[in-house]
Structure 1
Amino acid sequence: MDEFDSLVNLEQTFFDAGYKDGHAHGRIHGLIEGRALGREKGYEMWEELGYYEGFASTWKAHLVFQGTEDGRITHHLNGLLELISQFPQVNPSVAQAEAGSEVDILKLLRNIRSKYKLLCASLGIRPRLHAADGSEAAQEPVDGAQVKSKKKKSIWEVNDGEGEDEEQSDRKQGQPQTLSF
């Protein structure tokens, strides 16, 4: 019966071999794509954090230069800079990750964004909020209103025939449309 088992399970044998090869191949490509995606998202987060840190540092220097000592604003500035300094700057090693000393990056990023909004409210300015994905749709308006897209002025003026009398329109019917600058 052993001679016929290999024939009966022939399809399953090839399926298992293909699955094993595909799994190994997929693991390699998954690591490569995962590393690239992680790098991209990491850069986006650091761009956002860099903006917040530059914003806070600039306002702190401005307040020191003017000699204005508003305790509430200074407290929010120092709190924002402290939260940013707690953000991890290196990838943890495997031993650190297994030890359970992981930092909840998303929670820390939410706290930083909240502190930034609080600082902007204290300063009386409108916050510029961009989520870490970098898309324009991620902008959050302060007052909850919809962000209206500004229609850009067209560079090319296209004459569509509006405002012309019938005689001019009939004459141009056979001519190609021209662009004017």
Structure 2
Amino acid sequence: MAEEKDFNIVLDEIVLLEENTHKTSYEEGVKAGTEAGNPEGYHLGYHRGAELGRELGYYLGIITHFIRLNENSDSKCSEKISTQLEKVKNLIDIFPRTNSEDHDILSMIENIRGQYKKACALLKIPSTNPYDADISF
């Protein structure tokens, strides 16, 4: 014996069939896209982060070298140069080590690059970075 359904429910199912199918298909597509896109996004972020870390590590190595050279040298560099070296070091030290939406890393990295170039100009050394990947997001 056939199950009896209310006529209004059957009519609603017929009328709304296209809309319900569209909604279900959309949800399945979003789920499939998310699952496919997450690994790709992770790898892109990982590699961009590694490039950025390498750049900052290079800057920190140069800056630390000149800070130590200044500390161990008989002829100290000017106060302006010392201040600029410390400023770059502090900017790199406060750069976030984890992903956070609270920080604008693009403006932070541009600030670090600018301050590093200023320190290099004061030291009269080239500011070129051998790892320069021209990172842009």
Q: What's 1:140 paired with? A: none
Matched, 1:121 2:126: no
Task: Say which one has the larger Rg.
Answer: 1
Q: CA deviation at 1:122?
A: 0.2
**Mean alpha-carbon deviation: is it higher for 123-132 or for 53-62?**
123-132
Structure 1: state its 5+ residue gaps.
135-181
**For 1:133, which of 118, 127, 135 is the aligned residue?**
135
TM-score with structure 1 length normalisation?
A: 0.60
**1:147: which partner in 2?**
none
- Unpaired segments of 5 or more residues in structure 2? 1-6
2:27: which partner in 1?
20
Q: Distance in 2 between matches of 1:104 and 1:36?
A: 21
1:24 counterpart SS class: helix
1:63 aligned onto 2:59: no
Q: Which residue of 2 aligns with 1:109?
A: 109
Superposition TM-score, scaled by structure 2 size: 0.76
Q: Which has the higher contact order (CA 8 A, sep 6+)?
A: 2
How big is the shift at 1:131? 5.3
Q: Deviations over 1:134-154 (max 9, x none)?
A: 8xxxxxxxxxxxxxxxxxxxx
Report the identity percentage: 32
Paired positions, count: 126
Higher percent of residues as helix: 2
Partner residue, 1:6? 13
